[in-house]
Chain A
Amino acid sequence: MSALDWSSIPGALPFLLQGMGLSLGLLLSAMLGGILLGTLLALLRLARRRPLAALAGAYVNLFRSVPLVLVIFWFYFLAPFILRRLTGRADAAVGPLYSALVAFTLFEAAYYCEIIRAGIQSVSRGQVAAAQALGMSHGQVMRLVVLPQAFRRMVPLLLTQGIILFQDTSLVYVISLSDFLGAAGKIGQRDGRLVELYLFAAAVYFALCFAASRGVGRLQRRLRA
Chain B
Amino acid sequence: MIEISGISKWYGPRQVLRECSLHVKKGEVVVICGPSGSGKSTLIKCVNGLESFQRGEIRVDGISVGDSGADLPRLRSRVGMVFQHFELFPHMRALDNVNLGQIHVLGRSPEEAARKSRELLARVGLAEHADQYPAQLSGGQQQRVAIARALAMDPIAMLFDEPTSALDPEMISEVLEVMTALARQGMTMLVVTHEMGFARSVAHRMVFMDEGRIVEDAPTPAFFDSPQSERARQFLSRILRH
Q: Which residues of A contact B (CB under 8 A)?
A: 126-127, 129-137, 140, 144-145, 148-149, 152
Contact = CB atoms under 8 A, between A and B. Distances in A.
B48 interface: yes
Classify the secondary structure of A's interface with B.
helix
A135 B76 contact: yes
B241 interface: no
B133 interface: no
Contact of A136 (B48, B85, B105): B105
Nearest to A141: B73
Interface string B37-79: 0000000010010100000000000000000000011111111
Interface in B191-206: none
B101 interface: yes
A134 B50 contact: no
Given A144-B100, A144-B104, A134 B87 contact: no
Interface in B148-176: 149-150, 153
Contacts of A140: 104-105
Contacts of A131: 89
B147 interface: no
A167 to B, nearest CB: 32
A149 B100 CA distance: 15
A127 B89 contact: yes
Given A126-B83, A129-B83, A136-B104, A145 B89 contact: yes
Given A129-B50, A145-B89, A149-B90, A135 B73 contact: yes
B73 A130 contact: no
B7 interface: no
